[in-house]
Amino acid sequence: MTDQKTIAIFGAGTGLGASLAHRFGREGYRVALVARRAGPLQERVAELAGAGIEAAAFAADLAHTDRIPALVEAIEKRFGSIDVAVYAPVPSDIGFVPALELDASMLQSMANLFTFSPVEVSHAVLPGMLTRGDGAVVVVGGLTAVVPMPGMSGVGPLMAAARNYVFTLNAEVMPKGVYAGTLNIGAAIDRSAGLRALTAKGVTLDPRFPVIDPDDIAQEIWTLVTKRDRVESILPAAA
């Protein structure tokens, strides 16, 4: 059994997922990449191999909560352990809903990806971390989880529930050597599928709306995982 650590990136896209893989890979981590499409994942595995980073692809739809335990088991079988789990899927077709128009069926259609699946991923990886007395789980969300915004409901309440879970989880597992944290982003992510989808639709972002480099987000997650001095970070940081 190797002492080399492994990061599992649940939602490994071309933006934040790629930046996380390179940031942790530079520190000697092996990388498990999880996303829906196998082809692009294999391309990222090859790219990482070219940078001297060991990686493996695991094609999975994270909206299917019942498949998450087997997914985590497959990653642990391949690498021996998951030392850091980052949950960060950002569907390119996700949209906000005014609270006035929101109904239960609309909320239920998004609940797995933004509330139930981050809980299920955490539940699946925590036994190994607690046994070893070390590990970290980071759930990435959006600013509406922290600051309610008129016209931007739906996703926000679901991410707020996941955020609440992370805060309580961290209080319970930190004394046992395990960290849980959350990073909430109030910006478009450069090089991401979501930003490309907006561009393809001809949407022009307001020049005042921030676009953040995913390398900066990856660095912030590295800081959260290594320092463990905060449960939450928000990017871009307030001036």
Tens-place pLDDT, residues 27-50: 999 999 999 999 999 999 999 999
Strand partners, 209: none
* Tokens describing residue 140: 């990435």
Residues shown for the chain: 239
What is the per-residue pLDDT for 222?
98
Please check whether residue 21 is in contact with residue 48, taking contact to mean a CB–CB distance below 8 angstroms: yes
State how far the Cα of 164 lies from the Cα of 8, in Å rounded to an integer. Answer: 22
- The answer to whether domain 6-235 has CATH 3.40.50.720 is yes
Please check whether residue 195 is in contact with residue 15, taking contact to mean a CB–CB distance below 8 angstroms: yes
The ranges assigned to domains in the chain are 6-235
What is the per-residue pLDDT for 100?
95
What is the per-residue pLDDT for 239?
44
Tens-place pLDDT, residues 123-150: 999 999 999 999 999 999 999 899 998 9
Q: Which residues of the chain have pLDDT under 70?
A: 1-2, 92-95, 191-209, 238-239
Burial zone of 7 (CB within 10 Å; 0-12 exposed, 13-18 middle, 19+ buried): buried
* Tokens describing residue 207: 């020049």
Strand partners, 137: 85, 180
